[in-house]
Structure 1
């Protein structure tokens, strides 16, 4: 059975320098990593760049027949990052099972270690001994790389604690992404955050021991991560914290997921239905054992395979009652004409009926609440029998890249007619052709574009290793399902 196996790209001595997702089976590093305490210095920009420059392009071939098989989806990136943050803020040792090991989560583990946490990595689990409000390392420079979630959570963790000063740097990609909404909210509570170069962007300096007020207003129109970051850290304040919003929070289910995770660690949180008011009581987070469910966003790329190639696939560990908003993609597949069958509380089977020659189009999808599926839905839309309209996703222009513009470029390159709009697209059916396209070093662009190649005439992608952000073995998994790809080595 294919499955995303643990990838410790920067921390594992066996996998240093190994190309991510190489079609050959990577060596099993579990014996060398088991029980080994990682060093924060091991996760460096140099180590990450070494694995990201090993290959130049990957050619994903069209499906040669219907797809058939099952996939165990890796752990949720969003939930893993929340669990790491909560473990750092707790007193005692927390155990996180089934975590995602990827570029983003490794940045979080490295930050925890830098701040003085003991981090122990074992097979399919991580133990973190938290520091609560204490700051045993009161001064440090921490590089968050391109990890957007960590980039929004870490300043809050540092601000709600003892005195100290930390310089936070980021990749060139991350420095283009806004954090001004987070900075404005934090600085309403005191003056913990300072921009070093450009207002509202990384790099930043964060100072602890400066939270003096108890009410902050958060702009949730750009990223729900601003609100989630404040919520995660707020229980460690000495007095209650009230957070308000305008009630219009993008991907608001991620905030509710944050509150669920906080309660697992002992937080006392009361929130209005529209998240316009959230009250957080001061508590001592208690260490716990936390199991990470499958990543619903990553699941979309594999769930979509029968839609573009025919056949059937089973996702063995996807939770039907998941809080993750991208679980709605199963319903979207049904709207396109696929048959979806839950096998119980966990596990779903998707198949494309034999008589469905083209997917059913004519839809208008408002994907504001689950915008991470937008690129996948756009990829499917070119295989529909009528135009598909996608709306409500203007905020994804501020993700790893301008995702609306990026997907417009890909769709036009493969021969689709698409109207780009401020908050989405109108995509018309097309007979797609093979093309060389840019992923813009965006993991979701790479995986969604691969679907177009599989259902069409193949596709050539640059920056294939960007998938390491969420599913390092994405192309290996495709190969295991009979969907091969070929890599082209970089020249020079």
Structure 2
């Protein structure tokens, strides 16, 4: 289904409630499956988290997680320790092209029984659950943090815990720290010193408690972009957010100062305000927050700013090759983009073409990152409901603040 976004002007003051973080929800859902004694509130209503919930409660041998990369990685680790249970994890055509070999080999090193059903190194995979008693494994430090988090999430259930050594420069540190903070919050002991992460085994019942999932900062990024493209004085209030967030994408607060957007925290809400504009070349290393690269690139394009974005090596293995997708779609709109396998350079554009149809490539972030452009020109978003992967109410929330959207 394609949506047409007419050139819009948003309300001077507006507020939006955003669902719980997909990243936090999926980690906590897996931990809750291992330790049912704690409860969760404000769990993400995203497709990915619903798929995670269903997979963890499913008794079926074949589990299809569609496009959900986080679920594929976390569940690979989870089912490898479900003693006596055989599981086949599969997914969409794109999922079968997304590598899983690094995680599978790490789990095999710990003693897991995992084999490939089709192509070596890629889903679908067959997992024979068993007790894992080895406790030492090494991974290259620049791999997707989801591989690392997958191992850390099951570590306390391994007979001897886990000692994980990361080789080289570590990327996506905030996501690793998020996982360790959540382990700490439920009572699992861990340490992160130098390049070694240790998680102690846990055999005791944990204290029952209720954890509230913080709202998703990646979802907030689109409102930062909207604020940046709005008139001076525009305010948007978002809830529920913490000033000392575990989420790497909370870097938005500092990054969007470049676009003249200030952020004020008040209890569990944050208010974005458009102050001024600064159109100088923007250079950012996004290795700790790659999921907001698309939002930032589109913001720069819409404001006629040049930017150099680096640290983007993980974008090639996401829902689509996001670097190629960004280049293709921004150039359709009249921009000029150069990419390498880990960076993007956007040259200053003079004007933005109208009524261009944006292809979304089964990627929720492509749809949402380009939506704020409607404050500058009318656009069409193809396969618009792809947003349900992480933010099902996105279009309704945009309408509520003044966007004109039709099917």
Give yes or no for TM over 0.5. Answer: yes
Q: Give the 3-state SS of the residue equivalent to 1:343 in structure 2.
A: strand
Contact 1:381 1:428 in 2 (8 A): no
Contact 2:11 2:402 in 1 (8 A): no
- Between the two proteins, the alignment pairs up a number of residues equal to 401
After TM superposition, list the pairs within 5 Å mapping 1:177-256 onto structure 2. Answer: 177-209=98-130, 211-256=132-177
| 1:363 to 1:107, Cα distance in 2 relative to 1, 3 A | same
Cα distance in structure 2, aligned partners of 1:289 and 1:300: 27
Cα distance in structure 2, aligned partners of 1:290 and 1:87: 10
1:433 aligns with 2:377: no
1:81-119 CA distance string (max 9 Å, x none): 0110000011x443110111121011111112115xxxx
Q: Which moved more, 1:378-387 or 1:438-447?
A: 378-387
How far 1:247 moved relative to its partner? 4.5
Q: Tell me which residue corresponds to 2:253.
A: 330
Contact 1:160 1:234 in 2 (8 A): no
Cα distance in structure 2, aligned partners of 1:192 and 1:86: 21
Cα distance in structure 1, aligned partners of 2:376 and 2:304: 15
| 1:63 to 1:290, Cα distance in 2 relative to 1, 3 A | same
After TM superposition, list the pairs within 5 Å mapping 1:38-77 onto structure 2. Answer: 55=1, 57-64=2-9, 67-77=12-22
Q: Tell me which residue corresponds to 1:110.
A: 54
Contact 1:367 1:391 in 2 (8 A): yes
1:347 aligns with 2:273: no
Contact 2:134 2:160 in 1 (8 A): no
1:21-60 CA distance string (max 9 Å, x none): xxxxxxxxxxxxxxxxxxxxxxxxxxxxxxxxxx2x1112
Q: Tell me which residue corresponds to 1:31.
A: none
Contact 2:133 2:160 in 1 (8 A): no
Q: Give the 3-state SS of the residue equivalent to 1:427 in structure 2.
A: strand
For the aligned residues, what is the CA RMSD? 1.7
Contact 1:67 1:306 in 2 (8 A): no
| 1:316 to 1:295, Cα distance in 2 relative to 1, 3 A | same
1:150-194 CA distance string (max 9 Å, x none): 111111112224222111111112112111110111111114211
How far 1:78 moved relative to its partner? 0.5
Contact 1:66 1:306 in 2 (8 A): no
1:321-343 CA distance string (max 9 Å, x none): 101010011111111222x1313
How far 1:235 moved relative to its partner? 0.7
1:152 aligns with 2:97: no
After TM superposition, list the pairs within 5 Å mapping 1:292-441 onto structure 2. Answer: 292-310=213-231, 311-338=234-261, 340-353=262-275, 356=276, 359-384=278-303, 386-430=305-349, 431-434=351-354, 435-441=356-362
* 2:29 pairs with one of 68, 71, 84: 84
- In the alignment, structure 1 segments of 5+ residues that lack a partner are 1-54, 116-138, 488-492
Q: Give the 3-state SS of the residue equivalent to 2:45 in structure 1.
A: coil
Q: Tell me which residue corresponds to 1:475.
A: 395
Cα distance in structure 2, aligned partners of 1:239 and 1:458: 58
Contact 2:140 2:168 in 1 (8 A): no
| 1:415 to 1:77, Cα distance in 2 relative to 1, 3 A | same
Q: Which moved more, 1:471-480 or 1:168-177?
A: 168-177
Q: TM-score, normalised by structure 2?
A: 0.94
Q: Where does structure 1 differ by over 4 angstroms across 4 or more consecutive aligned residues?
A: none
Q: Give the 3-state SS of the residue equivalent to 1:451 in structure 2.
A: helix
* 1:96 pairs with one of 21, 40, 45: 40
Contact 1:241 1:279 in 2 (8 A): yes
Q: TM-score, normalised by structure 1?
A: 0.78
Cα distance in structure 2, aligned partners of 1:159 and 1:349: 43
Cα distance in structure 2, aligned partners of 1:109 and 1:240: 25
- In the alignment, structure 2 segments of 5+ residues that lack a partner are none
Contact 1:303 1:315 in 2 (8 A): no
* 1:466 pairs with one of 382, 386, 393: 386
Cα distance in structure 1, aligned partners of 2:89 and 2:15: 41
